[in-house]
Structure 1
Amino acid sequence: MKVTGKQISLLIACIIGVELVGSLSGLLAGDIRGQYAAMTKPPFSPPGSWVGIIWIVLYFLIGVSLYLLITADARQKNKQQAILLFVIQLIVNFIWSLIFFGGEYMWIGAILCLALAGLILLSIVLFYRVQIWAARLFIPYFLWICFASYLSIGLALLN
């Protein structure tokens, strides 16, 4: 299979687009790093410096997954449903930090994080029908959000 400049451009646009969504969410939420550093944390909480790096890698994988969905050779209806679910989960992801850190509504943020885990799991199932690697690339994201749900609940309880 020959890779074209158009395909590479689309891949880069998907990755940068998803990374920008994550960056904008963090920027709009305020001083997340400072707030996180000041919080009483539950056991197994990672250092704040790790969290940003983890998100950069996850957003990269999420962007590649989007590219694979867009370019998949699958039924149009399945692709449309997968891309719609992708957009919905990304919106929930975007809103989470605004609510948890920016709005300081930690319990609502914790519930939203659990809902996001459910959306990601549903995405994996649906993406599997469209493009198997798009689904597989969401597995680290799902695992991180499950851990983030634990952290969100722990932070809400302790703060």
Structure 2
Amino acid sequence: MTTFIPSITLPYVVFSNPAASVLLPVAFGTAVGYGCRPADAHDTYLALKQPPLKPPAEVFGPVWTVLYGLTGYAAHRAVTAGLERASLPSTVRAAKHGATLYTIQLALNLAWMPLFFVAKRPIAATVDAACLLGINGYLAYLWGTVDEVAGWCMVPYVAWVGFATYLSAGAGYLNNWDLTGKKARNDD
């Protein structure tokens, strides 16, 4: 089991407010997306050799937005259920541990795009994605013990992170783990 680390965990006020809990990861994800120069990331994506089943670049923004919102909602449900309505100490511990894990996974998730598209480090990005997959699989289980709906809300996210890990590893492998100089030519 993990541990609750208050110094690295989002404040309870974020989890207790449904709007803040949902909008925070959406806002952070949007900020990172725009901070990574979307046009450059799009050009790099188009220039890479990609594994089978790669979706069009336009799919990622809407999918991540929905999934960030869904995980924020799961966080709200699990943490408030565990800390406000729980009568068992084990449920309170699970909610607190989950809040720390959620914060860690959010940071890892936000690090992936800069690692892959800005730093052009596909190995580090793929390790990041694999860690995300493991943490979120466990988080879905843990939060499912606190609030069943919260656990189920994490399932689409875990599935997409698994797919994203495949895409990251596939693109890294197909491009010899070297993304330097990978950018589509502009035809304007």
TM > 0.5 fold call: yes
User: In the aligned structure 1, how far is the partner of 2:78 from the partner of 2:167?
Assistant: 30
Is the CA contact 1:41–1:154 (under 8 Å) kept in the aligned structure 2?
yes
Q: How many residues align?
A: 151
Aligned with residue 11 of structure 1, among 18, 26, 29? 18
CA-to-aligned-CA distance 1:43-76 (integer Å, 9 cap, x gap): 1000001111111111111111111123212333
**Which amino acid in the other structure matches residue 54 of structure 2?**
S
Which has the larger helix fraction?
A: 1
1:67 matched to 2:76:
yes
User: In the aligned structure 2, how far is the partner of 1:23 from the partner of 1:34?
Assistant: 18
**Which amino acid in the other structure matches residue 172 of structure 2?**
A
Secondary structure in 2 aligned to 1:44? coil
| Displacement after TM superposition at 1:82 (Å) | 1.1
User: In the aligned structure 1, how far is the partner of 2:118 from the partner of 2:109?
Assistant: 14
1:24 matched to 2:40:
no
Aligned with residue 119 of structure 2, among 103, 117, 137? 103
User: In the aligned structure 2, how far is the partner of 1:81 from the partner of 1:133?
Assistant: 18
1:141 matched to 2:138:
no
1:39 matched to 2:55:
no
Match of 1:6 in 2: none
Match of 2:148 in 1: 132
Match of 1:90 in 2: 106
Match of 2:57 in 1: 48
Is the CA contact 1:82–1:130 (under 8 Å) kept in the aligned structure 2?
no
Q: Structure 1: which 5+ runs fail to align? A: 1-8
| Displacement after TM superposition at 1:81 (Å) | 0.7
User: In the aligned structure 1, how far is the partner of 2:80 from the partner of 2:151?
Assistant: 14
* Higher Cα radius of gyration: 2
Match of 2:66 in 1: 57
Secondary structure in 2 aligned to 1:138? helix
| Displacement after TM superposition at 1:140 (Å) | 0.4
CA-to-aligned-CA distance 1:116-135 (integer Å, 9 cap, x gap): 10010110111112111111
Match of 1:158 in 2: 174
Is the CA contact 1:28–1:102 (under 8 Å) kept in the aligned structure 2?
no
User: In the aligned structure 2, how far is the partner of 1:42 from the partner of 1:79?
Assistant: 37
Structure 2-normalised TM-score?
0.76
Secondary structure in 2 aligned to 1:66? helix
